[in-house]
Structure 1
Amino acid sequence: MQVSFKANDSLSEQIAQHLGRQIIRGEMLPGDRIQELRIAAELEVSRGSVREALLILQRRHLIDILPRRGAVVKDLSEAHVRSLYEIMQVLLGLVIRKAIKVMKEDDLDPFIELIHQLQEQVEERETDQFFDSSFRFFELAYPFARNDFVQDILDNLQPAIQRAFYMALHIDQDEMKECLAFFKAIIETIFRRDVRSALEIIREFAEHQSSLVQESIVRARQIEAAWGNRRKK
């Protein structure tokens, strides 16, 4: 599929989002090389714009730029996933704690509307649509932190979180129900102004999904090793 870009906003940002979506959705795998020349030719953009896009993806923890190898899709190790969910738990806890203090009842309306949308997507098993809507929930919540530094960190971490979250949704069909229950519970704690329960719910969900993704990574490595041993025989 040929994709062309217009420099209406930031061309490098558009390229980064295009490549980021491929990494998040598993169309580009850990260790895959990202060749500047090929990408520039496919998208009909300059190598300079591609190079800037790769720096954005590096900042967003989706690729590594290595000496003599160039840009490669970042590996998803258990340690990487565990660290990612640990920091996300802390940051999201900060956001929700601040939201509980400053949100008015009317501020909950977009969240409640989104919950209804997520419910319908679970019932229809619309996994990709549910994935997109889930991060709309987070985007609605982030500004309530009223902290530009937190917002900046979350914006840069979000693609890496999306990558793990996308995996989780495709590992277990019931994970959509788990996520929906999480979103509902968070809204209830905000409505009740219950900070302690909110932080506990975030901790439990982060640990649950982190474990789910880590176990999937271990199984995939074991299968790969088994196939490797068979080929040697």
Structure 2
Amino acid sequence: MRFQAPESLSEQIAQHLGRRIVVRDLQPGERIQELKVAGDLGVSRGSVREALLILQRRHLVEIFPRRGAVVSALTPETVNALYDIYIDLLCMLARKVLERWSGHQLGGVLGQVKELQEMISALNSGAPDSEEKVIEAGFGVMKRAYSLINNPFLEETLENFRPAISRSYYVTLEHARSEITETAAFFRRLGEAATSGDTNRLENVIQDFGEHQRAQVLAILREENA
């Protein structure tokens, strides 16, 4: 793979390596060798080093003296810390949307939700890369919501959680195909709650699904470490 002259080369490299971590092509504890990555991608070692610092800030790698960068472990502690704050931030996003817009004005977001449900139905047969497509479509709904509230601070904060959430969510989809159906049901309930204009109902839908996801990831980690 070779990158062209970019706006941010280190960010492109970080996204490339981050995707490999999310889909578990790079396993927890695996060392990422700067020189090898630079050679494989046709970039400078300095750009790779900068990319690894970006991934460290996104909690996908840890950097140790004399050892270098290592893919970070997904532990019960990190999962709980992640979902504690992520669920609250999603509820804040949903609350801000309904504060500014009524149900009938949410056409763009609800249209995105409907497209995601249709995508899940098509992918439920086990198509290749379906997990990644579902994850990306879910973040597409969030992007629509960002445009409605115009809060760059909340958007940036949530986007910074995206790699870590994608990683944990991929774990659940990889272990249980039924989670795709569960995700479709979540977005159906989300759309219904948004249309009703009931903030409490909308937050409860988000909290229930977030806690479901947390429990699924923790159960998988227990099983893998048994």
- TM-score over 0.5 (shorter chain): yes
Which residue type is aligned with residue 211 of structure 2? E
Aligned to 1:165, which of 153, 165, 169? Answer: 169
Q: Over aligned residue pairs, what C-alpha RMSD do you find?
A: 1.7
Percent sequence identity over aligned pairs: 40
State the match for 1:111 in structure 2: 109
Report the secondary structure of 1:56's partner residue: helix
State the match for 2:137 in structure 1: 133
Is it true that 1:58 corresponds to 2:56 in the alignment? yes
Q: How far apart, in 2, do the equivalents of 1:144 and 1:8 lie? A: 30
Deviations 1:166-221 (CA, angstroms, capped at 9, x unpaired)? 11112211111211221222222222221111111111111111010111011011
> Aligned-pair distance for 1:107?
5.1
**Stretch deviating more after TM superposition (182-191 or 157-166):** 182-191
> Aligned-pair distance for 1:73?
0.7
Structure 2 unaligned runs (5+)? none
Per the normalisation by structure 1, the TM-score is 0.88
Task: Give matches, 1:1-233, under 5 Å.
Answer: 3-103=1-101, 108-124=106-122, 125=124, 126=127, 127-128=130-131, 129-222=133-226
Deviations 1:64-96 (CA, angstroms, capped at 9, x unpaired)? 112222111110001111111111101001100
Change (3 A) 1:57 1:169: same
Per the normalisation by structure 2, the TM-score is 0.91
Alpha carbons 1:86, 1:206 under 8 Å: kept: no
> Aligned-pair distance for 1:104?
5.1
> Aligned-pair distance for 1:119?
2.5
Which residue type is aligned with residue 212 of structure 1? Q
Report the secondary structure of 1:151's partner residue: helix
Q: How far apart, in 1, do the equivalents of 2:138 and 2:66 lie? A: 38
**Stretch deviating more after TM superposition (162-171 or 114-123):** 114-123
Deviations 1:7-51 (CA, angstroms, capped at 9, x unpaired)? 232111110110011001110111111111110010010011111
Which residue type is aligned with residue 220 of structure 2? S
Q: How far apart, in 2, do the equivalents of 1:94 and 1:144 lie? A: 13
Structure 1 unaligned runs (5+)? 223-233
Q: How many residues align?
A: 220
